[in-house]
Amino acid sequence: MGRFWRFIDTIKLGVWLTLIFLFHMLLYLALGTDTWLTTTVWVTGIYGAVIWLLKQIAKRIG
């Protein structure tokens, strides 16, 4: 379990959020979602909050 928390601690939040944003943007455009930009921003924000929370936990554990 220690390897998992070390991996989470080394994640570059900006890089991951950029990749998540691009992936979801392409996904929602391909699906034909009318509100693709709003949906992409919301999903990226939720993922960002979860990753940030996991990073905070990893700092306290490690």
Structure confidence by residue, pLDDT tens digits, 7-62: 888 989 999 999 999 999 999 999 999 999 999 999 999 999 999 999 999 999 87
Query: What is the pLDDT at residue 5?
Result: 87
Q: What is the CA radius of gyration of the chain?
A: 14
Structure tokens at 57: 């936990």
The sign one gets for the Cα dihedral 3, 9, 15, 21 is positive
Cβ 39 vs Cβ 24: under 8 Å = yes
How many domains does the structure of the chain reveal? 1
> What residues make up the domain containing 20?
2-61
Nearest-angstrom CA–CA distance, 31 and 10: 33
